[in-house]
Amino acid sequence: MTRHGAGGGVRRPGARAAIVCALAAALLTGCAQSVDPIERMGRKAAQKVRRPDPPPAAGAPAPDVHRRWGLAAPLAPAPRPHRVLAARAPGTVPPVIDHVPTRDKVVFLTFDDGAERDPRFVDMVRELRLPISMFLADSAAATGYDHFGQLRRLGAQVENHSLTHPFLPGRGYVDQHAEICGQQTRLKSRFGAAPRLFRPPYGDYDADTLRAAGDCGIDAIVLWRASMQINDLRYADGDRLRPGDIILAHFRGPAELKGTTLTEMTSRMLRRVQEQGFTVARLEDYV
């Protein structure tokens, strides 16, 4: 179907809003080799892991903990963030971003959908103090909100990825408003705060998406400029990361990653980031 699905990204350029920012990244296939988690949801039982949440530890990670997660060196602390998103003027739609304008050698990790709930990933986020943003679709993540709540208590941010993960362009304002606002309501009632960011399924949107997102209280539409495959990053253009890149990854497990676990995939992603002299920062600290 489209980007998050099993095939390449067939796009409908006519559905695009004219106000798109430069979005070569939207041409990336974030998930070309995998089964769409949405499709397998019916098969996958909720893997609820009920353990007490340890409090987020303060300060730097324990020495050598990076080795446990396959990293040669600790993740460098992110530089002091600077806000880049201006307040939206009344009557305007949210901006579409695929990167953050910054000279800092930082990139931002985003994980989509929510079908895979690997308890080891909670350990990884806690031990590495990993800042991540989670774009949750209710149809994929709903049975795992306890799991994502654990991650949220470790500092992971919960963001909106629609109720049912449809291809939005052409569906009209009312439908899109229901998809976006519906998930705002679900996430707010579950986690106590409504998301500020929205990622349209497959990275596809039209003018109604932007208008509906704005009316639902969304501050920015978040796409990506690099995407993590099973082993390597794929870039929107060029062959390496650039400062401020937003990286797309998915909550996926061995069934979709040819035997690779979510933590192994994340470890590879972090190595690619470190090899290029970057570290990871929290997207919400900048936008």
Identified binder of Zn ion from the candidate list 3, 66, 97, 112, rule CB under 5 A: 112
Q: Least distance to Zn ion from the beta carbon of 248, Å?
A: 9
Residue 284 burial by Cβ neighbours in a 10 Å radius (0-12, 13-18, 19+): middle
Give the x-and-dash track for 3-42 against Zn ion (CB under 5 A): -x--------------------------------------
**Alpha carbon distance, N-terminus to C-terminus of the chain:** 31
Rounded Cα gap, residues 53 and 80, in angstroms = 28
- Alpha helices in the chain, H assignment, sequence order: 37-40, 65-68, 119-128, 138-141, 145-153, 173-191, 207-215, 262-275
Q: Least distance to Zn ion from the beta carbon of 238, Å?
A: 24
Q: Pairing relation of β-strands 279-281 and 106-113?
A: parallel
In this complex, which beta carbon is closest to Zn ion, that of residue 111 or of residue 121? 111
116 lies in the site for Zn ion, by CB under 5 A: no
- Count the site residues for Zn ion by CB under 5 A: 4
Distance of CA 262 to the CA centre of its chain: 14
In this complex, which beta carbon is closest to Zn ion, that of residue 216 or of residue 222? 222
In this complex, which beta carbon is closest to Zn ion, that of residue 113 or of residue 219? 113
Identified binder of Zn ion from the candidate list 98, 113, 138, 204, rule CB under 5 A: 113
Q: Least distance to Zn ion from the beta carbon of 203, Å?
A: 9
Q: Least distance to Zn ion from the beta carbon of 165, Å?
A: 6
Residues near 99 by beta carbon (within 8 Å), at least 6 away in sequence: 25, 225, 242, 244, 245, 246
Binding stretches for Zn ion (CB under 5 A): 4, 112-113, 201
